[in-house]
């Protein structure tokens, strides 16, 4: 968790990455274990808790932000990673409390300040989500 805290500004209760578990080439892999006591499960849905799709997307975006910051030298230097684009989100399976998610963000290209990535979440052999997205690092003073 320390590596995550050092790399991105997200903090609980809006942090959806537990740890970085690997880096290879243009990809970074993270892990997240879904805990039954997370507040969104109380209302989504009572008696049948399902991880909200938007929070699965956020886990990918946070993993992508870690990758981006690492590609930029590992220091935010007064900048904040922000989402700039979401394309082609596909939800393949449901994620539930107790699931251990593997989250992969792969850097694709850059155009000016905009970085484009592909994301994938799996749980074991089940594909949960695929998504393409864009991130930028913006100056905190703007």
Q: What angle do CA 112, 11, 95 make, to 5 degrees?
A: 90
Could you tell me the sign of the dihedral formed by the alpha carbons of 129, 105, 12, 58, in that order? negative
Per annotation, catalytic residue among 10, 44, 111, 115: 44
DSSP 8-state code for residue 93: S
Cα–Cα distances in angstroms (integers) from residue 26 to residues 34, 38, 40, 77, 104, in the given order:
26, 31, 32, 22, 10
Three-class DSSP category at 57: helix
115 is catalytic: no
79's enclosing H/E stretch is strand 79-91
Catalytic sites, residue numbers: 44
């Amino acid at each position: 968790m320390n590596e995550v805290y050092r790399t991105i500004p997200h903090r609980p209760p809006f942090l959806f990455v537990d740890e970085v578990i690997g880096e290879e080439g243009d990809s970074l892999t993270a892990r997240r274990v879904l805990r039954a006591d997370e507040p969104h499960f109380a209302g989504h849905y009572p008696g049948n808790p399902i991880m909200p799709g938007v929070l699965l997307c956020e886990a990918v975006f946070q993993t992508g932000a870690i990758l981006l910051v690492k590609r930029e030298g590992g220091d935010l230097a007064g900048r904040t990673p922000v989402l700039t684009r979401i394309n082609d989100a596909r939800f393949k399976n449901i994620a539930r409390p107790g699931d251990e998610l593997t989250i992969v963000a792969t850097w694709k290209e850059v155009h000016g300040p905009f970085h484009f990535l592909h994301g994938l979440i799996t749980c074991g052999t089940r594909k949960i989500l695929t998504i393409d997205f864009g991130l930028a690092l913006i100056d905190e003073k703007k």
